[in-house]
Structure 1
Amino acid sequence: MRNQRAEREAAAAALSEFIRHSEKEPALLEQMVEELCQHVTDDSPTVRSLCLRGLVQIPESHILNYIQQVLGVILALLEDATESVQLTAVQCLLTVLNVSEQDAVDPILISLLVRLRNLQISMNTKMRSNAFAAYGALSAYGAGSQHHAFLEQIHATLPRLILHLHDNDLSVRLACRNTFQLLAPLMEVDGLSSLLNKQYFTSDRRSDYEDFIRDLTRQLCRLSPVRVDSYLESAIQAFDAPWPVIQANAVCLVSCMLSFLDDQRFLAPYFSQVFAMLVGRISQSPEAVVRAAASSALGLLIKRSNMLKSLSSRFDRTDPSQSSQHGEPHAKTSSELQEEAAAKPNGAQGEQ
Structure 2
Amino acid sequence: MVGLAGWAVAACGSGPERLDVPLGVHLAARAALNHAGLSRADVTGVVLAGSDAWDGRLISSMHIAGPAGGYLRDETKVVDDPSVALASAVWRVSSGADRAVLVVSWHSPAESDPLNAVSPDPEPVFSRPVGAHPLAAEALAVTRWLEAHGLSADRFDSLTAFLAPDKADDDRLWFTPLRAAHVAPVDGAAVAVLVSADGARVEIKAVDFATDSALPLEQHPDPVGRLRQRILARTGSDPAHAEVVETTDRTVFRLVMAASALGLGQPSEVADAVIEGGLPHLQPSGGLFRRNAGYAAGLERIVCAAEAVERGAVSALAHCSYGRAGQGHSLTVLAAPL
TM-score grouping bracket, smaller chain normalisation:
under 0.3
Higher relative contact order (CA 8 A, sep 6+): 2
Give the TM-score, by structure 1 length: 0.22
Larger Rg: 1
Structure with the bigger percentage of helix: 1
Provide TM-score, normalisation by structure 2: 0.23
